[in-house]
Amino acid sequence: MTMIQQQAGKMGHPLMNLLRLNGTPILQQLQLEEKLLRTSSDNWCIINDGTDTPAIVMGVSGKPSQLLEIGPVLQDRVPVIRRFTGGGTVIVDSGTVFITLICNKDAVPGVQPYPRSIMSWSGLLYSEVFRGLGDFKLRENVPSKPSDKSKAMERSNLLAFSKFELEMEEAETVYLLLNKEGRDHTEFICRLKEYLPRSVFIDKTVESIETYFSVNPTNMEAIDESQGAEFVHSTTLLTRQELEEASASQPKTIGVSV
């Protein structure tokens, strides 16, 4: 038994493996999360400080023809990823901070395997981070919010994924169609850097997690060694052909010529 495991037992907190990344491509991160959710019984927190390559991430049931300005996407060769969970379509880049919690159900008693219950639980973790900074809450259909989130449930694990915009580039919002209320991306996503420095936000998040878990820092090498066999991911990168076919089904007034 390691020292951290001994401390976890003494404190009565479950063990949480903490992986901190910097600029890891979002496709690689999402595929790692899918693998851990479906193959590991441990608790994980993954924090990725930005993604070096800007990309568009869609939910598992998202349709490019209904969600994207495909002309500009093709013209600028922006990667489009279909993730393994539900949720909205978002643009991510170096200004985005990603925080994912993957927990065994036994480690979070009282949390039901339903999206609203998982979101309420993860909201408790962030309540201390945002204390005193205004009405920042993880909830649906708010006028202004610091993150987009997706939830997933497996037989033994729960996942809560959130992306926080620290320095969103307005120019990149040309790749998304207007949402159903007629507002563009910048109208309902705010920049957290106006309220909290990037490093402080990450540190405060880790501190909040430490009130519920005994945190064990780890790295990609240790994960690769412990997980072993290859895993077939459902998180995929859409091909140019798929995007061109979606573009052909859009009204001619949408997007630009390519």
Task: List, in order of start, the domains of the chain with CATH numbers.
Answer: 3-246 (3.30.930.10)
**pLDDT: is 18 or 118 the higher one?**
18
Residue 10 reports pLDDT greater than 60: no
Average pLDDT over residues 41-46: 93
Euclidean distance between CA atoms 130 and 192, whole angstroms = 10
Residue 17 reports pLDDT greater than 90: yes
What's residue 179's pLDDT? 52
What's residue 115's pLDDT? 75
Our CA angle for 89, 95, 100, nearest 5°, is 60
Residue 154 reports pLDDT greater than 90: no
**pLDDT: is 148 or 23 the higher one?**
23
CA quadruple 98, 103, 107, 109: dihedral positive or negative? positive
Average pLDDT over residues 66-82: 95
Helices (H), the chain: 3-11, 26-39, 64-67, 70-75, 115-129, 185-188, 198-209, 220-227, 240-248
For residue 240, count other CB atoms closer than 10 A to its CB: 12
189 — pLDDT class (breaks 50, 70, 90): low
pLDDT in tens, 192-205: 777 788 899 999 99
pLDDT in tens, 85-134: 888 888 899 989 999 999 988 888 788 777 778 888 888 888 888 887 76
pLDDT in tens, 50-66: 998 899 999 999 999 99
Residue 166 reports pLDDT greater than 90: no
Q: Do the Cβ atoms of 95 and 169 come closer than 8 Å?
A: yes
What's residue 62's pLDDT? 92
Residue 168 reports pLDDT greater than 60: no
**pLDDT: is 229 or 205 the higher one?**
205
Q: Do the Cβ atoms of 38 and 52 come closer than 8 Å?
A: no
**pLDDT: is 11 or 175 the higher one?**
175
Average pLDDT over residues 229-247: 91
CA quadruple 34, 38, 39, 40: dihedral positive or negative? positive
**pLDDT: is 206 or 1 the higher one?**
206
pTM reported for the whole predicted model: 0.81
What's residue 25's pLDDT? 95
pLDDT > 70: percent of the chain: 74
The β-bridge relationship of strands 55-58 and 44-51 is: unpaired
Average pLDDT over residues 222-235: 77
What's residue 248's pLDDT? 93
Average pLDDT over residues 237-243: 97
